[in-house]
Amino acid sequence: MRWLFLCAVLVFLLCCFVFWDIASKGFGVVSLEFLLTSPRKGMTEGGIFPAIVGTIYVSLVTAVFVIPFGVATAIYLSEYARDTWVTRLIRAAIRNLAGVPSIIYGLFGVAIFVDGLGMGPSLLASGLTLGLLTLPYVVAAGEEALRHVPGSYREGALALGATHWQSIRTVVLPVATPGIVTGVLLGLSRAAGETAPILFTGVAFYLRYVPSSVWDEFMALPYHLFILATQHHAIHQVRPLAYGTALVLLGFVFSLNLMAFWVRKKYSVYGQQ
Amino acid sequence: MILSLLISNKIEIQHLDLFYGAKQALKSVSLSIPEKSVVALIGPSGCGKSTLLRSINRMHDLDPKVRLDGEILLDGHNILHGNTNLNKLRRRVGMVFQKPNPFPKSIYDNVAYGLEVNGIHDKTRIRAAVEESIRESYLWDEVKNDLDKPALDLSGGQQQRLCIARAIAVEPEVILMDEPCSALDPISTAKIEALILRLKERFTIVIVTHNMQQAQRVADFTAFMYLGELIEFGRTSAIFEQPNQELTRNYVSGHFG
Ligand SMILES: Nc1ncnc2c1ncn2[C@@H]1O[C@H](COP(=O)(O)OP(=O)(O)OP(=O)(O)O)[C@@H](O)[C@H]1O
Ligand SMILES: [Mg+2]
């Protein structure tokens, strides 16, 4: 048993090391100026403001798409679908979607959104592509949250004459909401760090301005980091900027996770029944 | 029966069979429940009391493996008929569950819930009905200053009385209670029994209980069930003092169950 414990400690230390490495090298770079200005002089100076805004925007587009579709699918699967081979097929398909490599989503996004639907490379196309990537997480988390709602609540509502939909809308969904929100936030935090799905669908190498509509291209933190770390003409010179960007991305993803944790703790009513 | 000539029957169950998949849980049960009376269902665990009770508001519709045959007449209309409006039926036939199950909402919202889902939105009318139902349930003095507090913060006994208030707020005709006191202490139990005796002036009540004393205290009629069959039904005093069946005698005298 001791070596299992040592393994766990080792993994923990590795995580700490990665975080420490990025934090220590990036910390000196991150300043208000770094956060609030655009890159200058071929990205060798200045900040990452457009990339931060782009990541936030694309996450919002993703959320706007994935919340209604994901939650509706979860409600259908958990509350309405009878257990037939069709629903089992849908469930299996959704589960497999979660295992698809993200570059495949990128190609799919190009084929469907950028070319097929003529959106061109844009916030919208990227957001929708990331939405597809996030969908299985949201559906799974939604189903899980709905399944955890005690049957006694549903019976209580129905026994008072509520229709099935009324019982879902007024009793089941409110109880499941913290779990659903948690799933959405975790899904978004994964999407925010992805590069491949946005690579061909809308992310830009360098833009002086933040996007003004969903049809514009945008900069994003993970792609900006990729450029600074591997594609730049003066890689060594911009290394500190790369670490700063990494730290900001990490902070963004971290705060989404923290929010998910907080929502789960604060609003959880499971276990009270 | 003479009984049915003297008193009008609110519910008549006729030759009711119920199957959970292949397993038969009710075997040709026939039972007449007089209006504004309390009927107790007793019998050993697993004999089908809850199953019978849940047939009366068609709670089994949630479970696709359940099949029902026979008739349940409510005021002469067969509620097992396919075109019965389940929402209207359940408004007329309320239910109180074994484990108190208030919604994770405020005390007020719990009681208002049934009215709202039944299409009543007049705030003053809801407020009046909420207050009256909570008073009727002997709960008013304990919660009148806390109506917007979470119902889940109440004690178990208070929660169960809140569930009764919630059920009567929609003015049902029948209230089904499945062992409503089994999770409660003796004092809460006594309060609920007193409440049942008062409610029977307005409602027809069917109550499942494992407590023989409780059946004798609250029920006008008692039905004894065994292995899915109705063995004997009659006035509570008759069932407990001079039962016709050997099985009933053994059960009420505590020889098994
Ligand atoms: N959902 C179900 N699926 C399959 N069988 C069931 C189901 N519910 C009950 N049964 C079976 O039907 C029979 C009657 O169950 P029921 O719950 O009505 O008994 P009961 O008299 O209420 O018992 P208790 O006093 O323990 O509550 C039992 O044999 C039980 O195993
Ligand atoms: Mg039971």
Tell me what ipTM this predicted complex has.
0.92
**In this structure, which residue's CA is closest to atom 2 in ligand 1?**
B20
A169 CA distance to ligand 2 centroid (A)?
Answer: 29
pLDDT at A210: 87
Per-residue pLDDT of B14-33, as tens digits, reads 999 999 999 999 999 999 99
Q: Please indicate if any CB of chain B lies within 8 Å of the CB of A168.
A: no
Cα–Cα distance, A250 to B163 (Å, whole number): 49
Structural domains in chain B plus CATH codes: 9-102+172-252 (3.40.50.300)
A:126-155 residues touching chain B, CB 8 A cutoff = 150, 152-155
- Pocket test residue of B42, B51, B62, B178 for ligand 1, highest count of atoms within 8 A of CB: B51
Tell me how far apart the alpha carbons of residues B95 and A159 are, in angstroms, rounded to a whole number.
Answer: 6
Tell me which residue of B211, B205, B203 sits closest to B183, measured CA to CA.
Answer: B211
Examine residue A50 and state whether it is found in any structural domain, yes or no. no
| Contact between chains at B117 and A162 (C-beta distance less than 8 A) | yes
Nearest to B234 by CA among B211, B257, B215, B254: B215
CA of A269 to the centre of ligand 2 (A): 26
Predicted pLDDT at A56: 96
**B104 close to A (CB below 8 A):** yes
Query: What residues of chain A, 193 to 252, have a C-beta less than 8 Å from chain B?
Result: none
Measured distance CA(A248)–CA(A241) in Å, rounded: 11
* A197 falls within a domain: yes
Q: Using 50, 70 and 90 to split pLDDT, how confident is the model at B7?
A: low
Asked whether residue A227 is domain-assigned, the answer is yes
Give the pLDDT mean for A9-23. Answer: 93
Tokens of B257: 């169950």
Contact B96, B178 (CB under 8 A): yes
Question: pLDDT tens digits, residue range B49-59?
Answer: 999 999 999 99
Query: How confident is the model at residue A273, as a pLDDT?
Result: 36
Is pLDDT of B3 > 70?
no
Q: Which pLDDT tens digit goes with each residue over B78-97?
A: 999 989 999 999 999 999 99
Residue A163 near chain B (CB below 8 Å)? yes
Does A128 have pLDDT greater than 60? yes
Amino acid A46: pLDDT = 84
- Identify each DSSP E strand in chain B by its residue range: 9-20, 23-34, 38-42, 66-74, 77-78, 93-96, 174-178, 204-208, 221-226, 229-235
Q: Give the pLDDT of residue A270.
A: 47
Using the predicted structure, report yes or no on whether residue B206 has a pLDDT greater than 80.
yes
Where are any strands of DSSP class E within B119-203? 174-178
Instruction: Please report the pLDDT score of residue A271 as a whole number.
Output: 40
Residue A206 lies in a domain: yes
The count of C-alpha atoms lying within 13 angstroms of the C-alpha of A159, restricted to the half-sphere facing its C-beta, is 30
Testing the interface with B: which of A83, A87, A160 to mutate, by most B Cβ within 10 A? A160
Looking up residue A211, the CATH number of its domain turns out to be 1.10.3720.10
Q: Is residue A233 part of a domain?
A: yes
pLDDT at A236: 85
- B91 and A174 in contact by Cβ < 8 A? no
Look at residue A39 in the predicted model and tell me its pLDDT: 87
Average of per-residue pLDDT values in chain B: 93
Residue B119 touches partner A, C-beta closer than 8 Å: no
pLDDT band at A180 (very low <50, low <70, confident <90, very high): very high
The reply to whether A29 falls in a domain is: no
| Residue with CA at minimum distance from ligand 1 atom 16 | B48
Between strands A39-40 and A45-46, the pairing is antiparallel
Domain extent at residue A150: 56-272
Q: Note whether residue A21 is domain-resident.
A: no
- Domains contained in chain A, number: 1
By mean pLDDT, which of A229-233, B178-182, B220-224 is the weakest?
A229-233
- Percentage above 90 pLDDT, chain B: 89
Any ligand 1 atom below 6 A from CB of B48 = yes
pLDDT at residue A139 greater than cutoff 90: yes
Say whether A156 and B163 touch across the interface (CB within 8 A).
yes
AA letter at B213: Q
Q: How far is CA B86 from CA A156, A159, B90, in A?
A: 14, 9, 6
Dump the DSSP string for B36-89. Answer: T-EEEEE-STTSSHHHHHHHHTTGGGG-TTEEEEEEEEETTEETTSTT--HHHH
Whether pLDDT at B230 is above 60? yes
Element housing B98 (H / E): none
> Distance between CA B192 and CA B181 in Å, rounded?
8
Q: pLDDT, tens digit, for every residue of A194-231?
A: 999 999 899 988 888 889 999 999 999 999 999 998 88
Residue of B nearest to A273 (CA): B101
Distances from the Cα of B160 to the Cαs of A180, B138, B211, in angstroms? 30, 11, 17
- What is d(CA A151, CA A145) in angstroms, rounded to the nearest whole number? 13
Residue A269: per-residue pLDDT: 57
CB count in 10 Å sphere of residue A23: 15
**Tokens, residue A59:** 């996450």
Among candidates A108, A70, A60, which has minimal Cα distance to A218?
A60
Who contacts A257 (Cβ-Cβ below 8 Å, separation ≥6)?
A185, A186, A189
B5: its two tokens = 């000539």
In a domain, A42, yes or no: no
